[in-house]
């Protein structure tokens, strides 16, 4: 496997400029939001207090950023050192994903200037799931920066600091495994409090476990998708042998997930709701169909060595698991007073702006820092 | 070394499964919350309510809330939309068809909506910064804007959709009925009850209000009885004919009980009040959180295990 190296290509491509335009537009709407209130740009309302800024940017966004967590688990806990080349790119996507999720939270918080209250002991509510999630995510963002620091220090030749950091980095690696385990499952617990407002197709005591499993599934799947995209765009060498190996245990994870997911609804006698033709029912079917399709593909060994099939399956996992999370936070949530929610255009643009910012940061970093494996024809 | 690692993993996995299995019993173990020592509340009797909305105006005045013009000339009356950031209480009307008899399913009924002041309030549990608190003495659920970060988890969590948010403000607050705690502090009673001309909204100690509600449920429909006005301790009474009550005190046991209770002649789900289990969802979520974290002991143990394994792994390589 080739050592990671900066790509050193032109950054200001057409893609980069497109991202910049979207981010700029989002910036304008953000100004509006901060002067005239959240309701002036978004369709969120008293019935649906959380929209896509939470459901997508934070709940899906952090899961998409679980590549670093999923790979670290593999490399450090299951002692599979051979996956090491995948850790750096995964860590970087995690870093961006989580940092931007943190920024999204600040956009979404109504009284953001008091956000530090969470850390003041006389305000902290240890019973609140939101408290746990907020503290965990906040700490994890810092941990990610420390974990990624060696890559930056390399670039700026800060050798002494890098060596010193390497001596204690195991603590941060450990935290980098513990914290996502905690807050990713808690993102599931969070919606338990919605009680009857959450449809029985999603409401189950297994929410924390299902959220943890989707975080891992998305983590591994996004590492694969990202690797395929980098091959196509940046012409980095294929990582197929490693990806095939990851694909070997995904069916297990996915199988356990599907079993719990479907049985928890079935045993509670609510499976009929899936077939009543409602939006909720259809989304439930779609979400699970995607994951079952991925399972069917990956359970056959011959498909795991075919890059097209792997790409298809990992994309289906990302989509299916993301949908599961959006369903739990928006589609499956019904306050029952005739409220409706569909994101407004400015609301969508702000979310797109966050994604575009992430894209720009990604392009900049892979060109400047040693993250991706060295390109074949560079 | 390999074996140790595997054992640790097995232990961790087994632990995880146990926790998942443990979740349900943990919730079931949760006992109903006791009433705070001096719990006060409101009993609303839909059969006495004449729909005059004096309480709505009195509430606005007592709490400095702006007038709200939502639709047409008679906004609060005709707009079925719920409470809002400008309106802490509301009288809503249930009606089916043109049948003119009050307090019957085929006819019509009023219902007054505002914060229930739950005994096990979901909003208080949800709030990460304790901006919502339940007073340990009188049980009133209050809000502190200097603590609130505006995350709106209270809105997601409240089973009655009570907390409202100032969507069009650059410095938004959560808004909800705080049982006129500023008036209570001065020894007064809630403005809506003080203003109610028929005693349909009645202030009092929750224990006494429960007794009063039971007395009413035992009345013979059509016979005349004395009904207290404004507050249970007041010496003012009015004589009314007892209504045909649904034999249920809404709020006696719903989600663990509430300090605002209702009586009506029409089933409560028809009046827009959700049918809820006796156990609060707080208990369920809390039970799971507790089972998983056991006061941060588990996470620290796991962290120790992880550090050990990572160091071992590094050692193996060199
Ligand atoms: S009704 Fe809602 S806002 Fe009021 S105390 Fe209960 S949970 Fe909190
Ligand atoms: S919006 Fe404010 S009051 Fe409601 S849960 Fe969040 S911090 Fe607490
Ligand atoms: S108790 Fe006070 S704040 Fe609550 S509804 Fe009545 S008047 Fe309004």
Quick: pLDDT tens for A95-114: 999 999 999 999 999 999 99
Distance from CA of B145 to the nearest CA of A (A): 9
- Percent above pLDDT 70 for chain A: 98
Interface touch A175/B303, C-beta < 8 Å:
yes
Which phi and psi (to 5°) does residue A283 adopt?
Answer: -65, -35
Which of the 8 DSSP states describes residue B238?
E
pLDDT recorded at residue A378: 40
Substitution site in B57, B60, B88, B182 for ligand 3 pocket (most atoms within 8 Å of beta carbon): B88
What pLDDT band is residue B78 in, cutting at 50, 70 and 90?
very low
Between the CA of A197 and the centroid of ligand 1 the distance, in Å, is 14
Reply yes or no on whether the pLDDT at A276 is more than 70: yes
Residues B19 and B78 in one domain: no
pLDDT top residue among A361 and B21: A361
Contact predicate B168/A46, CB 8 Å: no
> What residues have CB less than 8 Å from A197, skipping those under 6 apart?
A333, A334, A335, A336, B156, B159
Q: Of B149, B309, B78, B89, nearest to A119 (Cα)?
A: B149
Residue B3 confidence (pLDDT) above 70: no
The CA distance from A70 to A217, in Å, is 8
Residues B266 and B171 in one domain: yes
Establish if B150 touches chain A: CB-CB under 8 angstroms: yes
Rounded mean pLDDT of A141-156?
Answer: 86
* Domain parsing of chain A, residue ranges: 44-341
d(CA B217, CA B203): 18
Query: What does the pLDDT read at residue B9?
Result: 46
Specify whether the CB–CB gap between A104 and A71 falls below 8 A: no
Q: What is the DSSP letter of B245?
A: -
Q: How far is the CA of B163 from the centre of ligand 3 (A)?
A: 13
CB B273 near ligand 3, within 6 Å: no
Same domain, B236 and B108: yes
Name the closest residue on chain A to residue B17, using Cα atoms: A209
Q: How confident is the model over B125-157, as pLDDT tens digits?
A: 999 999 999 999 999 999 999 999 999 999 999
CA A356 to chain CA mean position, Å: 15
| CB A176 within 8 Å of CB A140 | yes
Please tell me which residue of chain B has the smallest CA distance to A74.
B310
Closest CA to A371 of A152, A142, A146: A152
User: Ligand 3, atom 6: nearest CA belongs to which residue?
Assistant: B192
- Which of A125, A190, A205 comes nearest B130 by C-beta? A125
How many Å apart are CA A259 and CA A295, to the nearest integer? 12
> In Å, how far are A37, A44, A48, A55, B174 from B167, measured between CA atoms?
6, 8, 12, 18, 10
Q: Are residues B253 and B290 in the same domain?
A: no
Q: What is the mean pLDDT of the segment spanning B240-269?
A: 94
- Contact A178/B at CB under 8 A: yes
Which residues in chain A have Cβ-Cβ distances shorter than 8 Å to B27? 205
Cβ-based burial of A293 (10 A; exposed 0-12, middle 13-18, buried ≥19): middle
Q: What confidence tier does A364 reach under pLDDT thresholds 50, 70, 90?
A: confident
- Give the pTM: 0.90
* Dihedral sign (CA B220, B221, B222, B227): positive
**Chain B residue with minimal CA distance to A330?**
B156
Q: Given CB atoms, is B104 within the 8 Å cutoff of chain A?
A: no
3-state secondary structure A296-329: HHHCCHHHHHCHHHHHHHHHHHHHHHHHHHHHHH
Residue B31 confidence (pLDDT) above 80: no
Q: Where are the alpha helices (DSSP H) in chain B?
A: 2-29, 54-62, 75-78, 122-126, 153-157, 181-185, 191-195, 206-217, 281-293, 297-317
Give me the residues of A, 134-153, that contact B with CB < 8 A: 134
Task: Report the percent of chain A where pLDDT is more than 90.
Answer: 62
Contact A246, A223 (CB under 8 A): yes
The neighbour count for residue B73, using CB atoms within 10 Å, is 7
Which residues have C-beta within 8 Å of that of residue A250, sequence separation ≥ 6? A217, A220, A221, A294, A298, A313, A317
pLDDT score of A194: 92
Residue A241 confidence class, pLDDT cut points 50, 70, 90: confident
Same domain, residue pair B208 and B301 = no
Residues B226 and B103 both lie in one domain: yes
Span B292-313, pLDDT tens digits: 666 667 778 888 888 887 777 7
Q: Which residue has the higher pLDDT, A245 or B24?
A: A245
Q: Which of A200, A327, A336, A338 is nearest to A276 (CA)?
A: A200
Count up the domains in chain B and report the number: 2
Fold annotation for A44-341 = Formate dehydrogenase/DMSO reductase fold (1.20.1630)
The backbone torsions φ and ψ at residue B113, rounded to the nearest 5 degrees and listed phi first, read -115, 135
Half-sphere exposure of A255 (CA within 13 A, CB side): 10
pLDDT of residue B134: 96
Q: Are strands B260-263 and B40-45 parallel, antiparallel or unpaired?
A: parallel
Give rounded-to-5 percent helix, strand, coil for chain A.
Answer: 75, 0, 25
Q: Which residue has the higher pLDDT, B23 or A367?
A: A367
Q: Given this model, what pLDDT does residue B76 score? A: 46
Over residues A35-49, the pLDDT tens digits come to 999 999 999 999 999
Nearest to A100, CA basis, from A366, A362, A370, A371: A362
pLDDT for A265: 95
The closest-lying atom of ligand 1 relative to the alpha carbon of residue B115 is 4
Q: Is the pLDDT of residue B250 over 70?
A: yes
Query: Are B238 and B296 contained in the same domain?
Result: no
Pairing of strands B237-241, B224-228: antiparallel
Q: How far does CA A338 lie from the centroid of its chain?
A: 31
The ligand 2 atom nearest the CA atom of B123? 5
Per-residue pLDDT at B12 exceeds 50? no
The dihedral built from the CA positions of residue A267, A272, A275 and A276, taken in this order, carries a sign that is negative
Contact B168 A36 (CB under 8 A): yes
Do A40 and B156 make contact, defined as CB atoms within 8 angstroms? no
pLDDT band at B194 (very low <50, low <70, confident <90, very high): very high
- Least confident range from A57-66, B102-111, B225-234: namely B102-111
Q: What is the DSSP letter of A266?
A: H
Please report the ipTM that was assigned to this predicted complex. 0.91
DSSP B47: T
Averaged pLDDT score across all residues of chain B: 84
B181: CA distance to ligand 3 center in Å?
9
Are B98 and B14 found together in one domain? no
Grade residue B81 by pLDDT with cuts at 50, 70 and 90. low
> What are the b/e assignments for A136-174, b being 16+ CB within 10 Å?
bbbebbebbebbbbbbebeeeeeeeebeebeeebbbbbb
Torsion on CA atoms B51, B41, B144, A335, rounded to nearest 10:
-60
CATH code where residue B235 lies:
3.30.70.20
Query: Cβ-count burial of A195 within 10 angstroms (0-12 exposed, 13-18 middle, 19+ buried)?
Result: buried
Average pLDDT value for residue range A278-290: 96
Q: How far apart are CA A252 and CA B202, in angstroms?
A: 60
Verify whether ligand 1 is closer than 6 Å to residue B94 (CB atom).
no
Whether pLDDT at B25 is above 50? no
The residue of chain A nearest to residue B299, with distances taken between CA atoms, is A178
Tell whether B79 is within 8 A of chain A (Cβ): no
Task: Quickly count: other Cβ atoms within 10 Å of residue B3's Cβ.
Answer: 7
- Residue B269 shares a structural domain with residue B298: no
Pairwise pLDDT comparison (A220 vs A370), residue with the higher score? A220
The yes-or-no verdict on residue A118 having pLDDT over 50 is yes
The answer on B78 and B177 residing in a single domain is yes
CA distance B239 to A118: 53
| Mean pLDDT of all residues belonging to chain A | 90
A295 vs A242 pLDDT, higher one: A295
User: Does residue A363 have a pLDDT over 90?
Assistant: no
pLDDT at residue B172 above 90? yes
State the best of B285, B298, B313, B316 to mutate against chain A, taking most chain A CBs within 10 Å: B285
Residues 25-84 of chain A with CB under 8 A from chain B are 34-40, 44-47, 49-50, 75-79, 81
Same domain, B24 and B142: no
**What pLDDT, on the 0 to 100 scale, is given for residue A375?**
60
Measured between alpha carbons, how far is A237 from A231 in angstroms, rounded to an integer?
6
Residues B10 and B85 grouped into a single domain: no
Q: What residue numbers bound the domain in which B50 lies?
A: 40-278
Q: Which of B130, B159, B164 sits opposite A46 (nearest CB)?
A: B164
């Amino acid at each position: 496997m080739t050592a990671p190296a900066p790509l050193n290509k032109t950054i200001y491509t057409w893609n980069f400029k497109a991202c910049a335009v979207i981010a700029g537009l989002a910036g304008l709407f953000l100004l509006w939001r901060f002067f005239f209130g959240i309701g002036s740009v978004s369709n969120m309302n008293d019935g649906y207090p959380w929209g896509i800024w939470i459901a997508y940017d934070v709940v899906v966004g952090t899961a998409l950023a679980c590549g670093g967590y999923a790979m670290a688990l593999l490399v450090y806990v299951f002692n599979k050192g051979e996956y090491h080349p995948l850790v750096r790119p995964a860590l970087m996507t995690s870093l961006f994903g989580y940092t931007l999720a943190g920024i999204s939270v600040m956009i979404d918080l109504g009284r953001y200037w008091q956000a530090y209250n969470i850390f003041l002991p006389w305000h902290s509510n240890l019973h609140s799931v939101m408290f746990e999630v907020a503290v965990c995510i906040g700490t994890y963002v810092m941990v990610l920066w420390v974990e990624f620091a060696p890559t930056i220090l390399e670039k700026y030749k800060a050798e002494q600091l890098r060596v010193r950091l390497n001596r204690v980095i195991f603590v941060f690696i450990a935290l980098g495994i513990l914290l996502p385990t905690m807050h990713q499952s808690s993102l599931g617990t969070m919606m338990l409090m919605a009680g009857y407002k959450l449809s029985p197709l999603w409401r189950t005591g297994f929410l924390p476990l299902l959220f943890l499993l989707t975080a891992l599934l998305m983590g591994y799947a996004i590492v694969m998708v990202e690797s395929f995209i980098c091959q196509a765009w940046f012409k980095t060498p294929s990582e197929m042998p490693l990806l095939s190996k990851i694909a070997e245990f995904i069916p297990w994870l996915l199988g356990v997930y599907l079993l719990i997911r479907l049985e928890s609804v079935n045993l509670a006698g609510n499976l009929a709701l899936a077939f009543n033709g409602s939006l909720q029912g259809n989304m439930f079917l779609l979400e699970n169909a995607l994951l079952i399709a991925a399972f069917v593909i990956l359970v056959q060994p011959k498909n795991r060595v075919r890059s097209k099939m792997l790409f298809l399956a990992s994309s289906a996992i990302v989509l299916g698991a993301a949908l599961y999370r959006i369903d739990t936070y928006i589609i499956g949530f019904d306050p029952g007073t005739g409220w409706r929610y569909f994101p407004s255009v400015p609301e969508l643009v702000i979310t797109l702006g966050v994604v575009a910012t992430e894209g720009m940061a990604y392009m900049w970093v892979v060109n400047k820092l040693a993250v991706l494996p060295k390109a074949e024809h560079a | 070394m390999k074996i140790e690692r595997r054992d640790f993993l097995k232990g961790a996995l087994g632990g995880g499964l146990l926790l998942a299995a443990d979740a349900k019993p943990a919730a079931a173990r949760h006992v109903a919350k006791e009433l705070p020592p001096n719990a006060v509340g409101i009993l609303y009797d839909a059969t006495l309510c004449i729909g005059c909305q004096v309480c709505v105006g009195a509430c606005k005045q007592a709490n400095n809330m702006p007038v709200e013009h939502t639709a047409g000339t008679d906004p609060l009356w005709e707009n079925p939309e719920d409470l809002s950031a400008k309106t802490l209480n509301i009288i809503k009307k249930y009606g089916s068809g043109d049948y003119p008899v009050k307090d019957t399913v085929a006819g019509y009924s009023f219902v007054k909506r505002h914060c229930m002041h739950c005994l096990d309030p979901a909003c208080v549990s949800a709030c990460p910064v304790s901006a919502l608190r339940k007073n340990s003495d009188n049980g009133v659920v209050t809000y502190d804007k200097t603590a609130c970060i505006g995350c709106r988890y209270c809105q997601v969590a409240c089973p009655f959709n009570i907390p409202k948010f100032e969507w069009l403000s650059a410095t938004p607050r959560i808004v909800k009925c705080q049982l006129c705690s500023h008036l209570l502090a001065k020894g007064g009673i809630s403005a809506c009850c003080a203003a109610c001309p028929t005693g349909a909204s009645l202030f009092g100690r929750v224990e006494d209000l429960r007794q009063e509600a039971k007395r009413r449920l035992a009345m013979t429909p059509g016979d005349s009885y004395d009904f207290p006005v404004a507050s249970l301790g007041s010496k003012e009474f009015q004589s009314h004919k007892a209504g045909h009550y649904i034999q249920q005190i809404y709020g006696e046991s719903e989600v663990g009980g509430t300090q605002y209770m209702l009586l009506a002649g029409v089933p409560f789900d028809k009046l827009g009040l959700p049918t809820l289990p006796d156990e609060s969802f707080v208990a369920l979520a809390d039970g799971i959180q507790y089972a998983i974290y056991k006061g941060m002991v588990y996470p620290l143990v796991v962290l120790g295990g992880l550090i050990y394994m990572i160091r071992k792994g590094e050692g193996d390589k060199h």
